[in-house]
């Protein structure tokens, strides 16, 4: 069975629906089961996306993706710099 990936907007919507169900008297496990997620996933999502609006959640994911690209770029440039430094010193 393939793992379903949710978009940030879907996660925020699902969290709100679960919170409404809990406010209406359902237990957390019951509300999570209706949403087809585990309780652990609910708490993990609530920790990451709790209190965010849809546009903020989308922007968060975009920034995380951009941050990852920048980290890879810095790592590559650092490696290139180190290689050039070693060649300049004659330590190859």
Q: 25-55: string of b/e by CB count within 10 Å (b at 16+)?
A: eeeeeebbeebebeeeebeebeeebeebebe
Confidence band, pLDDT 50/70/90 cuts, at residue 65: very high
pLDDT tens-digit map of 37-54:
999 999 999 998 887 787
> Whole-angstrom Cα distance, residue 92 to residue 84?
10
Which value, in Å, is the radius of gyration of the alpha carbons in the chain? 22
- 54-89 helix and 8-23 helix, angle to the nearest 10 degrees: 140
- 39-49 helix and 8-23 helix, angle to the nearest 10 degrees: 110
Task: State the first-to-last Cα distance of the chain, in angstroms, to the nearest integer.
Answer: 50
pLDDT tens-digit map of 17-41:
999 999 999 999 999 999 999 999 9
pLDDT, residue 32, reads 93
Whether the model pTM is above 0.75 = no
């Amino acid at each position: 069975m393939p793992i379903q990936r949710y978009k940030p907007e879907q996660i925020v919507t699902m969290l709100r629906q679960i919170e409404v169900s809990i406010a209406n008297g359902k237990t957390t496990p019951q509300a999570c089961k209706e949403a087809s997620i585990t309780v652990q996933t609910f708490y993990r999502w609530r920790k990451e996306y709790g209190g965010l609006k849809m546009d903020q959640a989308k922007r968060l994911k975009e920034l995380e993706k951009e941050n990852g690209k920048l980290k890879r770029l810095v790592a590559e440039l650092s490696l290139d710099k180190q290689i050039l430094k070693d060649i300049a010193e004659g330590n190859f």
